[in-house]
A and B are shown apart, each in its own frame.
Chain A
Amino acid sequence: DQQVKQNSPSLSVQEGRISILNCDYTNSMFDYFLWYKKYPAEGPTFLISISSIKDKNEDGRFTVFLNKSAKHLSLHIVPSQPGDSAVYFCAASSPGANSKLTFGKGITLSVRP
């Protein structure tokens, strides 16, 4: 049972345009959400996170939006750059010091020059 779903396996956008990566979750106990970015032959690196007490968090070109009622979050990248081409994982955790991260399958983003 997939608790974190990234239903689109890939996304291709033009350089300079907006990239919108979507993520849905089913577990209403999740209260913390993260996005990780992964290049080939490297480990995932943390990109941005959001707590369930917020509906938006920005960090430079990256913004994460959270819609708790829809159990949906999205990552916006503006403007997109070729170096953003990577696999993006959405992850979530529930409250508790020892709670674990649940990852989605990932979305492959390609930014065309």
Chain B
Amino acid sequence: NAGVTQTPKFRILKIGQSMTLQCAQDMNHNYMYWYRQDPGMGLKLIYYSVGAGITDKGEVPNGYNVSRSTTEDFPLRLELAAPSQTSVYFCASSPKGGSAINQPQHFGDGTRLSIL
């Protein structure tokens, strides 16, 4: 029962490098989300997707890009890494969005990213 799988678990980048954080879910969920969590803070939504081919910006999208070519995968791309992007990144999925009762978001275990 894999659920939401994120890779890698840890990564150190140099300023200006690029990388892709991978996220895959095997629950056939339509909705997928990327969050970042900074120390002592709650989760901030970066991007989300309501289905394959459809993505939209969240609260803190600057410096990131996403794509959703399949239902299962929702990669997050950092093009020019900056120290402000040092954070823990969580991917989540849900069958429905918003206030759908008893359809909570399922989270992966996160990717801890440091940019030096």
Contact surface of A with B, Cβ cutoff 8 Å: 4, 9, 31-32, 34, 36, 41-46, 49, 51, 89, 93-106
Contacts and interface: CB of A to CB of B under 8 A. Distances in A.
B110 A43 contact: yes
Given A44-B90, A44-B107, A98-B50, A105 B99 contact: no
Contact of A45 (B98, B100, B107): B107
B102 A49 contact: yes
B99 A95 contact: yes
B108 interface: yes
B106 A98 contact: no
A97 B110 contact: no
Interface of B: 4, 33, 40-45, 48, 50, 56, 58-59, 90, 92, 96-102, 104-110
Looking at chain A's contact residues, the main secondary structure is loop
Contact of A103 (B42, B97, B108): B42
Contacts of B59: 100
Contacts, number: 71
Contacts of B97: 97-100
B84 to A, nearest CB: 19
Nearest to A53: B101
Given A44-B90, A104-B42, A105-B42, A34 B104 contact: yes
Contacts of A94: 98-99
Q: Give the most central of B4, B41, B56: most A CB within 10 Å.
A: B41
B98 A95 contact: yes
A46 B104 contact: yes
Among the interface residues B40, B90, B97, B108, which one has the most CB atoms of the partner chain A within 10 A?
B97
A25 B45 CA distance: 18
A2 to B, nearest CB: 8
Given A32-B101, A45-B107, A49-B101, A101 B45 contact: yes
Contact of B99 (A9, A44, A99, A106): A99
A100 B58 contact: yes
Instruction: Give the 5 A-B residue pairs with the shortest CB-CB distance, closest first.
Output: A43-B107, A103-B42, A99-B98, A46-B104, A32-B99
